[in-house]
Structure 1
Amino acid sequence: MDKNTQIYFENLKSKDKNIQYEAYTNIMEATNEQVNWAYEVWDQLKGDLTHPDHHQRSRAAQFLANLSKSDPSQRMLEDFPAVWEVTKDPKFVTARHSLQAIWKVGLAGPKLREVVVDHLVERFRNCENEKNYTLIRSDIIQGLRHLYDVVKDEEIEQKALELVDTVEDSKYRKKYLGKWRKK
């Protein structure tokens, strides 16, 4: 890991929120591409998924989602349940940020793509009893769209449209469909 990246990870612990945010954005930008240092931080991030600070839980889930493309050992296959759990965090903003990033795990290959899509589909079907379930559904449809845009798997599109068809409220059905139809 280069010195700047090490500093960014150290700066996540700063008391200054601006320094933390700058570190977060730099790490997210770096992990948009494959990196060779994923395993240097993997175990710490996995541990942070249950950290008392919701910011650390959220960042850990987002970083691990991004780092899954830099995971040749496919650790994410075993660690996915822990990352997924953060999408149901009691702190809604933490859950939502994690859910919005989880689709990136699907970029790590066909097995993880299937795991991600199956979890998103199941969550969409069964989240009506959750607080803010319409936002959760919106994030799921958007995540499926992002994944489709990168991998061009027609099965993802089909599943997303089938989910939208199950929505009884025409206002939300139209909203979710709008996310998908913008090509």
Structure 2
Amino acid sequence: MDDQVKLAFEKSKTGDKDERYEAYQYILSETEQRVEWAYEVWDQLIEDLTDKDNHQRSRAAQYLANLAISDPEMRIMNDFPKLWEVTKDKKFVTARHSLQSIWKVAIAGKPQKEMVMEYMVQRFENGTDEKNFTLIRNDIIQNMKNIYDFDNDEAVKQTAMELIDTVEDKKYQKKYMAIWK
């Protein structure tokens, strides 16, 4: 890991608001492609998923989701439940940012995609008792669209269509369908 990335991780936690945001943007940008240093920060990020600061939890979740493509040992397969927990965070903004980035785990490989899809389908079907469940469902459908846009897997699209079909409220059914237009 080069010094610039190390400094970004430091500032992501300790800098002032502008420095933290700049560092956050830099790290997300760096992790859009494979990196060699994923395991240098992996364990700390897993730990940060339960940090008392919701911003740290959110950033850790987003960084890990991005780093799934840089995980040849497939650690994400064991660590995913910890990452998924942040998508249910008590702070809705933290939960939502985490959920919106979860699709990036799915593009790391077939087993990862199958796991992420399974978690999302289960949440879509069984999450109606959650506060803001229509937004959560929207994010899940958007995640599926993002996965589909990445690899054109018709099975992902078919799953999304089947889930949308189960929505009884026509207003939301229409809203979710609009994501696929």
Give the shorter-chain TM-score range.
over 0.9
1:59-95 Cα offsets, whole Å, 9 max, x none, are 0010000000000000001000000010001110000
Question: Does 2:126 correspond to 1:126?
Answer: yes
Separation in structure 2 between the aligned mates of residue 11 and residue 104 of structure 1, nearest angstrom:
24
Partner of 1:53: 53
User: What TM-score do you get using the length of structure 2 for normalisation?
Assistant: 0.98
What amino acid does structure 2 have at the position aligned with 1:163? L
Letter in 2 for 1:80: F
CA distance in 1, matches of 2:13, 2:106: 29
Instruction: Answer yes or no: is 1:173 the counterpart of 2:154.
Output: no
From the superposition, tell whether residues 23 and 15 of structure 1 become closer, same or farther in structure 2 (CA, over 3 Å): closer
Q: State the number of aligned residues.
A: 181
Q: 1:40-119 alignment to 2 at 5 Å?
A: 40-119=40-119
Deviation at 1:15, TM superposition (A): 4.4
Q: CA deviation at 1:18?
A: 0.6
Amino acid at match of 1:76: I
Q: What does the per-residue CA deviation read over 1:74-119, in whole Å, with 9 as the maximum and x for residues that have no partner?
A: 0001000000010001110000000000010001110010000010
Q: What letter is aligned with 1:103? A: W
| 1:3-49 residue CA offsets vs partner (Å, 9 max, x unmatched) | 11111001012341110000000000110111000000000000000
Aligned to 2:17: 17
| DSSP-derived class of the 1:149 partner | helix
* Structure-2 residue corresponding to 1:139: 139
Letter matched to residue 16 of structure 1: D
SS of the counterpart of 2:180?
helix
Q: CA deviation at 1:152?
A: 1.2
Amino acid at match of 2:58: S
**In structure 1, distance between residues paired with 2:101 and 2:87:** 9
Q: Is the 8 A contact 2:13 2:56 kept in 1?
A: no
1:155 — aligned with what?
Answer: 155
Residues 155-181 of structure 1 show CA distances to partners (whole Å, capped at 9, x for unaligned) of 000000000000111110000000012
Alignment RMSD (CA, Å) = 0.7
Identity %: 57
Off by >6 Å, runs of 4+ in structure 1? none
Q: What secondary structure sits across from 1:36 in the alignment?
A: coil
TM-score, normalised with respect to structure 1: 0.97
- Which blocks of at least 5 consecutive residues in structure 2 are unaligned? none
User: Residue type of the partner of 1:86?
Assistant: V
Q: Is the CA contact 2:38–2:67 (under 8 Å) kept in the aligned structure 1? A: yes
Unaligned ranges ≥5, structure 1:
none
CA distance in 2, matches of 1:159, 1:93: 26
